Structure 1
């Protein structure tokens, strides 16, 4: 009788905990728990990659049960794809709001381009886990970069029409070059803490707007 009572108590406690977790999943606490799972998963995927990261480690570090995980995400792939979606949405929203406005003086263009680039690089730097997952690891990373190139090219064409950049330049080529520079400098300079977003932005602006050649005074 005593043994049956202990088993019943354990079963009741487990059911009560699951009931609480299911109830919490629907409210404010549920949203907070979901965000906690995403934060932990972001670190795990960024550090170990998709195949090596484990749901058991994610829930352990999030201080949750494994059944609770499935109240929020149907699988490891589902939470991984949510992180990729967050990266894609964040970078695209930023790029689409980064077109340089009309009415700038020529002397203001370099500063404005540097400001835009610093925001983009700041996003990549501040969201290192998402950057590692969506910009580097994911099988669709190249497709995401192609979308980024398309948006950047559209912005550059608009700015070219405003008279900010030379008319003979192919802005699709410029966009590929610029995104390629952002890609490599993110990996080699930002994520290694060698340079800050501001420093990388200044280097890119100096290269793209001023070039490599030493400026000579007119003869």
Structure 2
């Protein structure tokens, strides 16, 4: 979303960032409908006219927060494709690192994450989009021999996205678990399963 006007200089950029941060906080606490522009500028320590120098409306700043979040998460997901030539023993380590990176990103600004994942009216479509990107990554990694050739990558992608979303809501946003702990638990479950080590499903 392009702002109504743009103020050049460092001060103008700082004011814009303050408005975005304040808006994320207000939306996360009160929801979109109960948040007012006056609430946002009060939290940001700015005046209401200054808000309209950067954003046309409450809808515009909400949309920018969501769009930026979606873009960041999609770019991150695309970047996590495993490289060719990995040693078998390093695959699980790289997967762990990738999942931890995702949780760290989601934990950076919990208010923005809450808006982007849970308050976003287009959240369902966003999750489908991310699952499609993840599926493409998994298919490429499957062709490299990193994962079982019989895996249904679409199911795996949907399960991973669903799990990440749910544990983010239950543990990450509440501060109950750190990104590295959640990543270790998720990867351990997906890579090694629930059975005792050394026991196969009959």
TM-score when normalising by structure 1: 0.86
Tell me the equivalent position of 2:66. 84
Structure 1: 5+ residue stretches without partners: 1-21
* 1:207 aligns to 2:189 (yes or no): yes
Q: In 2, Cα distance between the equivalents of 1:51 and 1:211? A: 42
- Give CA deviations for 1:61-116 in whole Å, capped at 9, x if unaligned: 21221111111100000000010011111111111111011111111111110000
Mapping 1:49-198, distance limit 5 Å = 49-198=31-180
Tell me the equivalent position of 1:39. 21
Q: In 2, Cα distance between the equivalents of 1:108 and 1:83? A: 36
Q: In 2, Cα distance between the equivalents of 1:23 and 1:153? A: 40
> How far apart are residue 211 of structure 1 and its match?
0.8
Contact 2:80 / 2:98 at 8 angstroms: preserved in 1? yes
- Structure number with bigger Rg: 1
Instruction: Report the aligned-residue RMSD.
Output: 1.7
> How far apart are residue 23 of structure 1 and its match?
9.8
- Give CA deviations for 1:177-212 in whole Å, capped at 9, x if unaligned: 011110111011111112111111111111111111
Contact 1:46 / 1:132 at 8 angstroms: preserved in 2? yes
Higher helix share: 1
> How far apart are residue 216 of structure 1 and its match?
3.5
TM-score when normalising by structure 2: 0.93
